[in-house]
Amino acid sequence: MSLYMLPLAIGAPQIILIVVVVLLLFGGRKIPELMRGLGSGIKEFKDASKDDSDNNEDLNKK
């Protein structure tokens, strides 16, 4: 593995460490609220990108 790819090598131990750090920082009660916010943000992004592609198709038809 090259030196440039080393930071991208995420395995099970790294994911477990990230989960533990998130639990320590935010606590168990805030996690569902954070996930809801993340989900709504992703939904908004998908809707905006779909609207943008629809607008581009409309412009190409003209």
The length of the chain is 62
State the pTM of this model: 0.50
Q: Residue 9 — left, alpha, or beta (φ > 0 → left; ψ -120 to 50 → alpha)?
A: beta
Looking at residues 24-48, what average pLDDT do you find?
88
Assess whether pLDDT exceeds 90 at residue 51: no
Mean pLDDT of 6-23: 82
What would the DSSP string read from start to end of the chain? --TTTGGG---HHHHHHHHHHHHHHH-TTTHHHHHHHHHHHHHHHHHHHHHHHHHHHHHHH-
